[in-house]
Structure 1
């Protein structure tokens, strides 16, 4: 990954009322991750792979409006229970990386870097989303979408909160 003045970073934090091991496992176990990830009304299905350092996970997301998206996640770091890093791209049904289907200029790959920290009453996560080698146009598109990303991640975190409380 090349970090330059053109490489923006999105950061969001959230504290969950659950122990660090439980929160980490909700991210690092494909079965659990599929139960809460994605926007409200989205059903995630893991098609292949697993979550481990060096592993790749291919998943399908079926949205409430009928839209279907595929993602590919290449796991760089799975360090239980403190740290999780993966590179995420849009994919096709066969697991090939494809351009973003809804933005003309969007980074091909986003690095997701999550730190888990035990705090009084639960676990705080700090999630960083960083485009990998974006063009100037892709970086501008990423910056322009940050408010939307806050809403999207907040919705996913609300689902994670409900999942952890169950």
Structure 2
């Protein structure tokens, strides 16, 4: 479902057919996260992953067509079964921030974005709202928006198998 009230940010809302505790675990259990947190055809590896308020991550999404995309970030808020807030910063393999243009990204793409995940229970299912501080139009143009949709679909599939 789309919300075009604020095109200055990505906004995705989905109802996940799983309890809120399972959905939160999918975001915070490293063994589950690696199974879904990459777009179709891609894989993710974490060099560092410390999911707690103030914790940091350093990951690489490998895409057979476009190569590796490294990212670092910090968890600003981790509230069990309610909310996750984290930064995403384009980086290199050593964890140093880099200009997105230097790795072939759109010149309008910000070097850092903030992602907020809000979860609410809804009759045994979970309503998930995802926001990212980048224009939804730009995210659709660059592939970031469809990547989120693909990853959430993969999470939904994973949760039905657990």
TM-score relative to the length of structure 1: 0.83
Query: Which of 105-114 and 61-70 deviates more?
Result: 61-70
- 1:161 matched residue in structure 2: 156
1:64 and 2:57 correspond: no
Could you tell me whether the CA contact under 8 Å between 2:113 and 2:132 is conserved in 1?
yes
Q: Superposed, which structure 2 residues align to 1:107-126 within 5 Å?
A: 107-126=110-129
Q: Superposed, which structure 2 residues align to 1:2-17 within 5 Å?
A: 8-17=8-17
SS in 1 for 2:131: strand
Shift of 1:149: 4.0
- Structure 1 residues 150 and 93: alpha-carbon distance in aligned structure 2, compared to 1, 3 A threshold: closer
1:57-98 deviations in whole A, cap 9, x for unaligned?
A: 001111132611111121000000100000111110011111
- The answer for unaligned runs of 5 or more in structure 2 is 1-6
- 1:144 matched residue in structure 2: 137
Q: Superposed, which structure 2 residues align to 1:30-109 within 5 Å?
A: 30-65=30-65, 67-100=67-100, 101=103, 102-109=105-112
Aligned length: 150
Shift of 1:152: 2.1
CA RMSD of aligned residues (A): 1.7
SS in 2 for 1:127: strand
Shift of 1:129: 0.6
TM-score relative to the length of structure 2: 0.85
